[in-house]
Amino acid sequence: MRKISSREQSVGKVVSLPQTTDMATCSSCESNYFKIIATFYGDNSRALDYLISHGVISSGSSRIPCPKCGTFLSFREQDHLFICRSTFTVPKTKKRRNCGFSASQFKGSFLSNCHFAPWKLVLLVNHYLSRHWDYKTIQDCLGLSPNTVCDWRSFCSEVTEQWFSNQDPVGGVGV
């Protein structure tokens, strides 16, 4: 007798919505799957504030020294850039030059090289954490390409795997 796959079982049935009571959240958050969608859909500034408050990206108020000259970088909020505005004298020509160093607020974070809006990333990760992953839902609702969705699901899996590997083992001696 042939075993029926879960995909075949779901054909013709009403698809249930994700469970909201068992969502993975941090200890200071009281959000669930639907609240996150309602809160962040289309709102980049709120998504960025959320990512800053959870340590995913650095805040514009961070005092970061320039790796070239050592002065503190200023932050250009509209571009999400840290910029060095210091000048120095070139010894050979005696001309003044700008340091010119700049770095994205997203550099070295989960959002580096992300070419879509931060609110879409928050919703994509929210959907990943719901444990009811569906590529088609993300593609249709967020307007992302199949390759982008596949890549970002892999990134989420890698972060989850790294988090698990950094946890203390469960059990006692010899378990």
| Predicted confidence (pLDDT) per residue in 100-142, tens digit | 888 888 887 777 778 888 899 899 988 988 878 888 888 998 9
Angstrom distance (rounded) from CA 121 to CA 38: 14
- The residue type at 56: V
65: CB partners within 8 A, 6+ apart? 71, 72, 73
Exposed (0-12), middle (13-18) or buried (19+): which is 117, by Cβ within 10 Å? Answer: middle
* Residue 76, token pair as written in the block: 């250009």
Exposed (0-12), middle (13-18) or buried (19+): which is 32, by Cβ within 10 Å? Answer: middle
Angstrom distance (rounded) from CA 58 to CA 112: 12
- The residue type at 18: P
Domain boundaries, the chain: 31-57+110-161, 59-105
What is the percent of the chain with per-residue pLDDT over 70, rounded to a whole number?
81
pLDDT value, residue 9: 33
Binned at pLDDT 50, 70 and 90, residue 59 comes out as confident
